[in-house]
Structure 1
Amino acid sequence: MATSSVVPYEAKTARKVELNEIIPPVDFSFLKIASVDECESEEPRDNSPRKQRAVQKKKEEEKDDKSDSLCLKLNNNELKDVNNIMSIAEMLFQNPSSIGWIDLSFNSLTHIDPVLTQFENLKILYLHGNSIEDVKEVNKLAVLPRLIKLCLHGNPMENVKGYRQYVLSFVPNLVVFDFSRVTKADRATANTWKNFNNPQRQKKIKNNDD
């Protein structure tokens, strides 16, 4: 008689949450937040189906619950920096290191804060509609191995000659940049741009001219 191979409940491992799962983001958009520290006292927007239900009576119980979401939205606020964003993430998320999507679009950021590189599993980063002028700020993102979708349009840096080629040469794993899919032609142009603007090449040309 064949025996059943039922796996005991205790032996089952916790299911890993995936970025594309339908789990509402932790959403602080459109709240006129000027500092990420304000998220400690602000109530995130409720994007879940239970929004219209009787949630108020459970509000105090749920306040201490951390989200399983992998997305943090801080877009359309008044942020000038996000240097304390990791502390806020640790307070709000079950697994802050697993966050895969951060939306900081339409704020007043003037640089790309290095703290963003602490989110090692970041796949999507929205920074469009800010005030970042120096295209070299993008260099900081080169250490994010899983970053495949980046948006920077609407920043002054996009007016720099060779802007798209520069970004793609420093963040080569991008699949979508500024809501436009990265093509083979884009990659070829970026490689050509990178070789042409290689500091060693420029130094060699200068030495030859001397």
Structure 2
Amino acid sequence: MTELADKKSDETQLSERFGIFQPLDYSFLNIKNLSDLPVCCPRMIPSINSVIKKDIDGKWISQTLKLNNNQIEDISTLPIVVYELLGDTSNLTWLDLSCNNIPSIPNSFSSLKRLKIIYMHGNKIATFQEVIKLRQLPKLTKLTLHGNPIEKEKVILYVSSQRQPVITVVPFF
């Protein structure tokens, strides 16, 4: 039994030392409104160290928020919800919003400055004007949009040599 406890302790020390934390997983919970998140318990990933930790203020310690495969339509309050869950919007680096019913990207996304990865495939994003709002995220390096009506336009996201996201549209021929 002490061997298992030692292994747990080793994993905890490594994750805290290198900033590796479990994702805050609210996927497949049939969530319709972001306001339901703080009262809803996140799903746990089965592993030896499966407990998602909280800080002294009761905020989750994680850099990843998974909201995929729900019924979410409005994400305008996402920065507020991220603050309620994590205590600081700058803690969030990976956001999975895939397979929801999201038609637009709010301007409030600009406050999530440390986001590196956003999965938005399988939603209802229809125009390039929505995607262009993500240019305000200086650390963004990965964005998925397949399975959205915007697929009719050829949108290309790449990272320039200065690590700045560049979004362009290639007309469909």
- TM-score (normalised: structure 2): 0.74
Name the SS of the counterpart of 2:108 in structure 1: helix
Matched AA of 2:31: I
Equivalent pair of 2:119/2:144 in contact (CA under 8 Å): yes
Equivalent pair of 2:73/2:100 in contact (CA under 8 Å): yes
- TM-score (normalised: structure 1): 0.62
Aligned equivalents of 1:17 and 1:148: distance in 2? 24
Q: Which runs of 4+ in 1 moved over 2 A?
A: 48-52, 172-175
Name the SS of the counterpart of 1:40 in structure 2: coil
- Sort the Cα spacing of 1:17 and 1:143 in 2 relative to 1 into closer, same or farther, 3 A: farther
Aligned twin of 2:74? 81
Aligned twin of 1:153? 146
What is the CA-CA distance between 1:47 and the residue it aligns to?
1.8
Aligned twin of 1:116? 109
Equivalent pair of 2:141/2:158 in contact (CA under 8 Å): no
Aligned equivalents of 1:72 and 1:17: distance in 2? 20
What is the CA-CA distance between 1:51 and the residue it aligns to?
7.4
Matched AA of 2:99: F
What is the CA-CA distance between 1:48 and the residue it aligns to?
5.5
Unaligned runs of 5+ in 1: 1-15, 56-60, 176-186, 195-210
Question: In the comparison of the two structures, how many residue pairs are matched?
Answer: 151
Aligned equivalents of 2:49 and 2:36: distance in 1? 22
What is the CA-CA distance between 1:98 and the residue it aligns to?
2.4
Equivalent pair of 2:138/2:165 in contact (CA under 8 Å): no
Equivalent pair of 1:117/1:144 in contact (CA under 8 Å): yes
Query: Are residue 132 (structure 1) and residue 125 (structure 2) matched?
Result: yes
What is the CA-CA distance between 1:138 and the residue it aligns to?
1.1
Equivalent pair of 1:27/1:44 in contact (CA under 8 Å): yes
Query: Are residue 39 (structure 1) and residue 40 (structure 2) matched?
Result: no
Unaligned runs of 5+ in 2: 1-15
Aligned equivalents of 1:159 and 1:17: distance in 2? 45
What is the CA-CA distance between 1:78 and the residue it aligns to?
0.2
Matched AA of 1:151: T
Aligned twin of 1:29? 27
Aligned twin of 1:104? 97
Aligned twin of 1:173? 164
What is the CA-CA distance between 1:85 and the residue it aligns to?
1.4
Name the SS of the counterpart of 1:49 in structure 2: coil
Q: Deviations over 1:129-151 (max 9, x none)?
A: 00111122111011111100110
Higher-Rg structure is 1
Equivalent pair of 1:150/1:174 in contact (CA under 8 Å): no
Q: How does 1:11-26 map to 2 (within 5 A)?
A: 21-26=19-24
Q: Which has the higher helix share?
A: 1
